[in-house]
A and B are shown apart, each in its own frame.
Chain A
Amino acid sequence: MLHGVSLEVAAGEVFGFVGPNGAGKTTFLKSLLGIVRPDAGSITIADIDARRRPLRARRNVGYAPGETAMYDSFRVLTMLEFALAFHESASLERGRALLSRFGLPEKRRVRQLSHGMKRKLLLAQAIASGAPVLMLDEPMEGLDPEARRDVEVLLAQEAAAGRTVFFSSHDLPSVERVCRRVAFLRGGRLLECGPVEEILSRASHTLLVQLREPREPDALPSGPGLEWTGEGKRWRLAYRGNAEDALAQLTALPIASLRDASGGLEEVFEALYGAEEDAS
């Protein structure tokens, strides 16, 4: 059940939709496409009222479902042809190029594909649909790290080409890398929505500093917003503000190595949902 979820995604934007299992992400995507009928509210896709003209609205959407089930008896290419047959703007050539990029054998039966391969096939058909809006439900789920990176690059390219990418995911590092804005959903309600940069500014900023020779705490640079923990050669620096100012403080230290250990969306996610749980 969704309550008062209101979102607007601009053309050419990559938008992430995040939430724990059962938050309503898939239901939200299904309502946009008319697979589930909302009781109230309005949906506009590419300037088309999707509740009044669902068919026209769906012509503008390339959708990859979260469920990887497909017609098992089909071969990969036949499945692609079937999925693209309803989109006037679809390109089978583009689809075949994506199959090749993802390493999917065209002649193999769908039932013989692994979970990750099915996920790639669903992505290929959504992208090759040629629709201006891509709606992807958990597109990274089941993919290995290399494939995940490849999909991230692909989605960024699609957005750069002017397509709108709206995707739900549990893979927060991917959302962080690809999305311009992100929305957090919980129990069918929108908790937070905003630019990724803005939301990330709420996460802690930490540097892991390895020195060539040990130092005492009072020999480390101090200043407002800097907090050191650790001992000897290994220190952890928590800082507020931007990274450039923090790094400027470290120039006098004999640094062996430096690693950014700042919290990402996962930390914000935990804080957000932890606070919600405490409140409830």
Chain B
Amino acid sequence: MIARHFLWEQRFLALGYFLLLLVNMMASVLYWPELRDSIPEMIKLIPFKPLQDFARAFDEQGFWAYYGAQHFWKGAGMFGIAAAGLMGSGVVARDVDQRTAELLLSRPVSRARILCERWCTGALLILLPFTMVAFIGGWMAPSVDEMLDRSAVLMGVAHSSTFLLAVFTLTCWLSALFTHQLKAGILVLGFMLLNLAIYLVKDLWDWSLYNLIDLDVTLPMEAGVYPWRETFWLGGATLVFYVGALVSFQRRDF
């Protein structure tokens, strides 16, 4: 019932997120033939070094690099994070915000179950559209005379999913700490925007979390190399954030 309720509450957000990912993917794939021929000229116009590197990778590595940048970096790093921030911030703080916490917590249901059901539903709503759009991209590739390796796509989805889950779980933790949903959401989105800004500064970009999903990580996947180390750290962070969220929720008075 808790999962169903959370699903119902987040349905429009999830639909909007899916449509954004889909439009981004469709536009990107359809624009590829035009872009492919003008990359060398385009590189000269790009202001930031990291983005120039992206364009160079498109030129040298072809469609896989472009697809990875569009979906695993931009799709996950912008739309995915926005969805994770907005959904995660409501996991606990929304009930405090709308003063329904007393009603919910007086039911014979444990806080652990509330968190677990909402976390699982939120994770599903973030990852399912992301995965579906990733495969839609692969399905569209032949229309622009390109092919994508299905196992590479699967690796990209798996790795980006751990990144999104870490951000989503961090937001859940903040949601268990804050009284206002907006504060938790803004804090995570602000933090991620800061990371994006850092990523665009040449001397600082090593410190950005966006390194975890950029082309250095996704390009080798085409050759079957999976970033186990990054996934391990992201998975570990997710676990820590989840335990943090659970402890904060359990200890909190409402």
Give A81's nearest chain B residue, CB to CB: B1
Give B1's nearest chain A residue, CB to CB: A85
Alpha-carbon gap, A87 to B108, bound state (A): 7
Question: What 1/0 mask marks residues of chain B from 185 to 217 whose CB sits below 8 Å from any chain A CB?
Answer: 000000000000000000000000000000000
Give A88's nearest chain B residue, CB to CB: B108
Report A58-85 residues with CB < 8 Å from chain B CB: 58-59, 61, 63, 65-67, 69-73, 82-83, 85
Residue B150 at the chain A interface, CB threshold 8 Å: no
Assess whether B105 is in contact with A59, with CB atoms less than 8 Å apart: no
Q: A63 contacts which chain B residues (CB < 8 A)?
A: 106
Residue A261 at the chain B interface, CB threshold 8 Å: no
Q: B8 contacts which chain A residues (CB < 8 A)?
A: 73
Q: A35 contacts which chain B residues (CB < 8 A)?
A: 101-102, 105-106, 253-254
Residue B109 at the chain A interface, CB threshold 8 Å: yes
Report A65-123 residues with CB < 8 Å from chain B CB: 65-67, 69-73, 82-83, 85-87, 122
Residue A33 at the chain B interface, CB threshold 8 Å: yes
With A67-B99, A69-B99 as contacts: A33 and B5 at CB distance below 8 Å: no
Most chain B CB within a 10 A radius of its CB, from A30, A59, A71: A71
Alpha-carbon gap, A167 to B50, bound state (A): 64
Assess whether B1 is in contact with A73, with CB atoms less than 8 Å apart: no
Question: What 1/0 mask marks residues of chain A from 179 to 215 whose CB sits below 8 Å from any chain B CB?
Answer: 0000000000000000000000000000000000000
Assess whether B103 is in contact with A55, with CB atoms less than 8 Å apart: no
- A33 in complex: contacting residue of B99, B105, B110, CB < 8 Å: B105
Report B211-245 residues with CB < 8 Å from chain A CB: none
Secondary structure at the B interface, as helix, strand, loop or mixed, is loop
Give chain B nearest CB distance to A60 CB in angstroms: 8
With A59-B108, A65-B102, A65-B106 as contacts: A73 and B253 at CB distance below 8 Å: no
With A30-B254, A35-B254, A36-B253 as contacts: A83 and B102 at CB distance below 8 Å: no
With A35-B254, A72-B98 as contacts: A86 and B108 at CB distance below 8 Å: yes
Residue B100 at the chain A interface, CB threshold 8 Å: yes
Give chain A nearest CB distance to B11 CB in angstroms: 10
Give A57's nearest chain B residue, CB to CB: B108
Residue A52 at the chain B interface, CB threshold 8 Å: no
Residue B9 at the chain A interface, CB threshold 8 Å: yes
Give B254's nearest chain A residue, CB to CB: A35
Residue B107 at the chain A interface, CB threshold 8 Å: yes
Residue A3 at the chain B interface, CB threshold 8 Å: no
Report B98-126 residues with CB < 8 Å from chain A CB: 98-103, 105-110
Alpha-carbon gap, A87 to B9, bound state (A): 22
With A30-B102, A69-B100, A72-B98 as contacts: A82 and B1 at CB distance below 8 Å: yes
Q: B100 contacts which chain A residues (CB < 8 A)?
A: 69-71
Alpha-carbon gap, A87 to B102, bound state (A): 16
Give chain B nearest CB distance to A166 CB in angstroms: 13
Q: B5 contacts which chain A residues (CB < 8 A)?
A: 71, 82
Q: B102 contacts which chain A residues (CB < 8 A)?
A: 30, 35, 65-67
Alpha-carbon gap, A117 to B86, bound state (A): 32
Give B107's nearest chain A residue, CB to CB: A86
Assess whether B254 is in contact with A65, with CB atoms less than 8 Å apart: no
Residue A177 at the chain B interface, CB threshold 8 Å: no
Alpha-carbon gap, A85 to B113, bound state (A): 14
Assess whether A83 is in contact with B109, with CB atoms less than 8 Å apart: no
Assess whether A55 is in contact with B106, with CB atoms less than 8 Å apart: no
Alpha-carbon gap, A185 to B62, bound state (A): 75
With A72-B98, A73-B9 as contacts: A67 and B103 at CB distance below 8 Å: yes
- B106 in complex: contacting residue of A58, A70, A72, A82, CB < 8 Å: A58
Give chain B nearest CB distance to A26 CB in angstroms: 9
- B109 in complex: contacting residue of A30, A37, A55, A65, CB < 8 Å: A55
Give chain A nearest CB distance to B96 CB in angstroms: 11
Q: A65 contacts which chain B residues (CB < 8 A)?
A: 102-103, 106
Alpha-carbon gap, A256 to B117, bound state (A): 70
Q: B99 contacts which chain A residues (CB < 8 A)?
A: 67, 69
Give chain A nearest CB distance to B167 CB in angstroms: 26
Give chain B nearest CB distance to A86 CB in angstroms: 4
Give chain A nearest CB distance to B113 CB in angstroms: 9
Give chain A nearest CB distance to B181 CB in angstroms: 14
- Contacts from A to B (Cβ < 8 Å): 30, 33-37, 55-56, 58-59, 61, 63, 65-67, 69-73, 82-83, 85-87, 122
- Write 18 A-B pairs (CB below 8 A) sorted by A numbering: A30-B253, A30-B254, A33-B105, A35-B106, A55-B108, A56-B108, A59-B108, A61-B108, A70-B100, A71-B5, A71-B98, A73-B8, A82-B1, A82-B5, A83-B107, A86-B108, A86-B109, A122-B103
Given contacts A73-B8, A82-B1, A86-B1, 9 further A-B contacts (CB under 8 A): A33-B106, A35-B106, A37-B251, A56-B108, A58-B106, A61-B106, A66-B102, A69-B100, A70-B100
